[in-house]
Amino acid sequence: MVRPHLRLRPPQPPAPVRPAATVLLVRDGDAGLEVLMTRRSARASFAPGAYVFPGGAIDEADRDAAHDPALAWRPDQDETLRPALLAAVRESFEELGVLLARDAHGRWVDPATLAALDRHGPLLPQCRTHGLTLALDALWWLAHWITDRDLPKRFDVPFFIARMPPDQTPQADNREQFEPIWVAPGEALRRHAAGDFPMVYPTVRTLEYLQRYPDSAGLLDACAARQGPQWVSCPRAGWLRGQEARFMEHEPPFGELELTCPDGQLEHHLDWRHDAPVALTRHVQRLTAANAGPMTGPGTNSYLVGEAATGYMAIDPGPDDADHLRRLFEAAGGDLRAIVCTHSHPDHSPGAYPLQALCRAAGRPAPPVLGLPSAPTARAHSHFRPERALSDGERLVLSAADGGHRHTLRVLHTPGHAANHVCLVLEEDGLLFSGDHILNGSTTVIDPPDGDMDAYLASLRRLRAACDEHGIRYILPAHGHVLGDAPRAIERLLAHRLQREAKIARVLAEHPDGDLAVWVRHAYDDVPPHLWPVARRSLLAHLQRLDRARFDDAWMEDRP
């Protein structure tokens, strides 16, 4: 974990969370799935005037009644959820007059009995009086939201989902909730985008998930098939294009927001800058070259590691771009102790010697250019030879004269994307500089002959082991934002590559007489066609790996 004194911002404990529960009541309308929503009071302390699903805080009575015989639940429901399930049912009755309850014969509560109940009186005693059982077993766990850390009022909220009981009409209490409305998820989102249907972030994202289902049966079946929620999220917020923007854990900016604002401070700007460095910690800066494109995304990330007391190392100086190299030099105060190239591709290494020359021209000591020389398999535009070749496992150290500051980069040889690819681990802080081996928002291209899929997967496994050895939490890629939860990110990438390979193997079996054009069309049918020429390179790498595997299997079978 990053050393506390090198974080950009002092600790700021977020507001405590209050347990609450929400229920989405759904039905099938003329156009398909609809969900019941209601508008909160304009005087509400949380999300005033927003359209929401019914729900509210879990109170002590909900906890005390978790084992009441007037509750019905399924054996597969987590016992710890009972207070939340009860709160969701209770709140939907108090706010909208909708009661998920059955009589002694297992029938849904009838309108006459429902009308005799006091919506604002204790619910369970009334259920016992009228012989009703609250149907907690009719609710399924859809999602789990924890309010963003930057907000002053926070909740920990399971979102449940249930089919609307028959013969009931929602009626708002006109205290906390107003204007109940049945709405299709897509229509609610359209109206929200138009500005006349205000909603908070978790509501919007939940509706985005719901709109993939054409009817309630498919949605409820998906929830029933999963023991837990479809997702658990405590989003993070940053600034993007001058607007507050929030992101879930699986989205590209999340890890960077976690690194730069661990306690949820709404202070980090996510826009890609090419004119100035972006501080990620007090000793790591990112400068993105102005070479954005289909293969480079927003541009190549160059990193500076170090402080004024230790001097700096530059990682991946990028293309030979005078403006970019000048900004690197100036951000380091001219005190560059080494220039390290993760590999020899033309958006990573050409700036190395011009940056060294810039130091020399300023009367500064010339920092050595370090890396691995390009292999004979490298393409002509990727020729690179460092002043000194790095050794696998060696440490590059920056130290202050007084011994008070130290930054250590460990070199890991990680062939696969390129034969001479290296990654670097900032050991004291658990930061992995991944070059092109791991990207954020896309998968790297494996381009034979210099790229090799076997080597790539083996290197991924080595990096996963390094996460445990060095406590790596964050990955700083050469393209894209910082990735968080490094071990899981690598595992997902490994799984994705192997799933793609399995799909390729199926396509080969289905189209044995096909060619690369046919195979890429079927194996990458989830990728936009304009990217198929690039995908074709990785397809070739997978084919070579599959051929090796078949050869090895045949060799083993032929052994005496």
Using the 3D structure, point to which of 234, 249, 281 is the last residue of a domain. 234
Q: Residue 192 falls within a domain, yes or no?
A: yes
Domain harbouring 69, CATH code = 3.90.79.10
Q: 177 and 69 share a domain?
A: yes
Q: 201 and 345 share a domain?
A: no
Q: What pTM, to 2 d.p., does this model score?
A: 0.92
Q: 172 and 315 share a domain?
A: no
Q: Residue 554 falls within a domain, yes or no?
A: yes
Q: 337 and 430 share a domain?
A: yes
Strand partners, 108: 102
Q: State the residue range of the domain holding 312.
A: 273-487
CB 439 within 8 A of CB 480: yes
Q: 184 and 287 share a domain?
A: no
DSSP strand pairing (154-163 vs 17-29)? parallel
Tracing tokens 């009860």 back to the chain, one arrives at 86
Q: 535 and 466 share a domain?
A: no
**DSSP E strand stretches across 289-382:** 301-307, 311-315, 336-340, 369-371
Q: 434 and 473 share a domain?
A: yes
Q: Residue 378 falls within a domain, yes or no?
A: yes
Per-residue pLDDT of the chain (560 residues; tens, 9 = 90+): 899 999 999 999 899 999 999 999 999 999 899 999 999 888 877 778 999 999 999 999 999 987 888 899 898 898 899 999 999 999 999 999 999 999 999 999 999 999 999 998 999 999 999 999 999 999 999 999 999 999 999 999 999 999 999 999 999 988 878 899 999 999 999 999 999 999 999 999 999 999 999 999 999 999 999 989 999 999 999 999 999 999 999 999 999 999 999 999 999 999 999 999 999 999 999 999 999 998 899 999 999 999 999 999 999 999 999 999 999 999 999 999 999 999 999 999 999 999 999 999 999 999 999 999 999 999 999 999 999 999 999 999 999 988 778 999 999 999 999 999 999 999 999 999 999 999 998 899 999 999 999 999 999 999 999 999 999 999 999 999 999 999 999 999 999 999 999 999 999 999 999 999 999 999 999 999 999 999 999 999 999 999 987 745 443 344 44
Burial class (CB in 10 A: 0-12, 13-18, 19+), 32: middle
Domain harbouring 443, CATH code = 3.60.15.10
Q: 215 and 325 share a domain?
A: no
Which of 176, 164, 197, 173 shows the shortest CA–CA distance to 28?
164
Please say whether the dihedral angle defined by the alpha carbons of residues 338, 343, 347 and 352, taken in this order, is positive or negative: positive
Domains: count for the chain: 3
Q: 370 and 289 share a domain?
A: yes
Q: Residue 462 falls within a domain, yes or no?
A: yes
Q: Residue 396 falls within a domain, yes or no?
A: yes
